[in-house]
A and B are shown apart, each in its own frame.
Chain A
Amino acid sequence: MADKFAPAGVPLVDMRNISIAFGGIRAVDDASVDLFPGEVMALLGHNGAGKSTLIKILSGAYKRDSGQIFINGEEASISNPRDAKKYGVETIYQTLALADNVDAAANLFLGRELMTGWGTLDDVAMEAEARKVMGRLNPRFQRFKEPVIKLSGGQRQSVAIARAILFNARILIMDEPTAALGPQETAQVGELVKQLKADGIGIFLISHDIHDVFELADRVCVMKNGQVVGTARTTDVTQDEVLGMIILGKCPPGAIPGPGALKIAA
C-alpha cells in the first residue's frame, strides 16, 4: 500500500487482499491493512464486521482462503498459532483464552513451558518469571497458586496481557482488552499500550470504545460486512466521521477509501 497517510519505512505487518469464507458467508472479503513499528492501529466496526476474524488470521487461529501476509517486508506463512508466535505475533483474545483450571504461571507459559535439565516442567522457574512480569503489570497480584478461574475479571485480564508481553512480542493484537475492566484498570492498560509503543512494538487494537481509540490509536481502519471501508489517521478525521464510516460505510475526505466504502456518485 503506497499510502501517503502511513508512516514511512517498511511496515511491520502488511496483510494484503485477505479473504476467508465460512460456508457461504464471506467473513473477510479482500481486506488489506498494515501496521508500522511503534504504531497503534485500531480496527473498528460493528459486531460481525470481520475485525476479529481478520485478526485471527494473523494470529493463526484461522487459515485464510486467499491473500498474503508480509512481516517486515517478507512473506510469512502462518497457518497455526505456533507459526504466528514464531513471527513474534502475540494475541490477547476477547475471550482471554485462558485454561481456567491451571494457575497463572501455567497459563503464561502454556505451549512454551520452561523445562529443567531432566526434561520436566520447571514450575519454580516459571512461577518466578510469572511473579516478575505480573509485578510489572499488576504489583498487587499475589494469587499465583490458584487456578485462574478463581481470579477476578481484571486479574484474569492481566494474566492474559502478561502472557502476550512475556515473550518479547513485536506485534501485539489486543481484542477488546478493556472489556472486562473498570475505569482505573482501563487507564492502566492505556499506560501499558503507550509503554509498549515506546518500545517499538506494533499494536492492533480492536475496540468498541471510540474514545479509547482516539486516545490510544495512531490510525484507524474501519470494517463493514467483511470489507475495509477506509483507513485514516486519527488526527485527520473526527469521531463523528469515524462513526459515519462504521454505521454507513461513508468514507470522509480525510481517509483513504477501501473496497467497502459507500459508492457515492462522485
Chain B
Amino acid sequence: MRRMITSKPLGLLVWSLIISQCVAAQDMSAQVKGNMSVSLTNSSNTAAWHQYGWGIARFSDNNQRLNVSRLALSSRVDISSAWSAHVVAQYVPDPNDKIGLTEAYAQYQPLAQGYQFSARVGGFYPRMSLENPALGWSSPYTYHFSGLNAWLGEEVRTFGAEFELKRAARRFRSKHDLSAIGAVFKGNDPAGTLIAWRGFVPHDRQSVFNERIGIAPLKSLSTPQLSRQGQYVEPFTEVDGRFGYYLGAHWSYLKQHALRFYWYDNNGDPSAINYVTKQYAWDTKFWSLAWRTKFNAQSQLIAQAMVGNTAMGPTRGVDNDFYSWFVMLSHTFDDYRLSVRAEQSKVIDKDHWQFDENASFTKGVTVNVQKSLSEQWQLGAELQLIDYEADARLAVGRAKGQDEQVWRLNAQYQF
C-alpha cells in the first residue's frame, strides 16, 4: 500500500487535487467527478494477457469474480476563461491493484465568435471514438469496449499537442459542425505490439501512463531474432526520438449524424530498440472512421472501422496489416438502455518470419442492459460472446481457437 501511495501517478493525482482545492480557495473553479463500477463476473479458465497468459478475458482469478472493475476520478480546474487543466486517474484491480493516470493535459479554448481555435497539451486520448464519450473515456453503452476501442485504450495515447479549428454550426446559424484536427506527439512508439502478439480483444482495461502490459509466453520471443523484445509492452514510451502525428476531421449535422475521420501515424522507426526496456519502435499507421446516427431521441447507431499496418525490426521482420470494425445499436426507454454490438477484427501476417505467427481473427457479440436508479446509481448486466483464434497459439501446442462467454453484473456509482 505504501508503495502505491508513493507512486508517481498517485502523487500527481493528489497534487492535482490539492491544486484544485487551492484554486477553489482563490475563487477559481474546480470540479472533481468520478465513477466506480462494482462488478460480478465469471472468470476465465485461462490467465489473461496482462497476467502473461493466453486468456482473452480480463478476469481469470476466482478471487476477483467480485471486484471494483474500475474507479475513475476526473478533475477539471479552470485557471482562466480560456485555460483549464484536466486530470483523469483510475484504479483497476487487474493484474494487481493498479493506480495511475489515463489523461493529464492543459486545454486552451478561448471564447470565440466565429471559428473556434482550441488546443490540448499533455497526455490524452485522441477523439477518434464515438463509443467512449463518458467520464474517464468509458462507454455509456457497454461495459466491455469494442476490440477496436479496447486497443486504442491500451496502446494509443497522445503525449504532445493537439490543435483544432472548428466551425461550430450554431455560431454560423448552420446545421453543420465542421472541424479539422492535427496533433504531434512522442512516446507512443511500441503501439502495435498487442496487435501483433495478441490481436484485438473486446475489454475495458485502459492503460495508465508508464504502464507495462504483459503478453502471452509466445514461442517466437525465445528466438534469436526476437530475443531483445520483452514479454510485455510499454506502450507510451519513446524509443526512436521521432515525432508522430495524426490528422482528423469531424463533421456533424444537427448533432444527429456525426462522422470522425482520422489518419494516425506514430512515425516509428522499426529498427530502433531500447535495450534496457526491451521495447522496439513499431511503425504503426491506420485510418479510423467513426459514425453515429441518432434515429430519434431514443435510438442510435454507432459504428467504427479501422484499417492499418504495423511493423517492427530493421527488416520489418514483423509486418502486419490489420482491420477492426464494430456496429452497435443502442436504445433507451424509461430508465433503461439496451445496447447490442457486433464486431470483427483481423490481423494479417505479411512477413516471412515463419517462426513468428501474428495472424489472428476475432468476432464478438455484446448485449448490455442498464437501468438508472438515480442520478448516481445504475445497475446493469452484460453478456459477451467472443470467438477468437490466433496462429501463435499453435506453436505452443494450444488449439488455434479460443471462445469466451463473459458475463458481468455491474453496479455503478457516479459522483
Q: Do A and B bind?
A: no
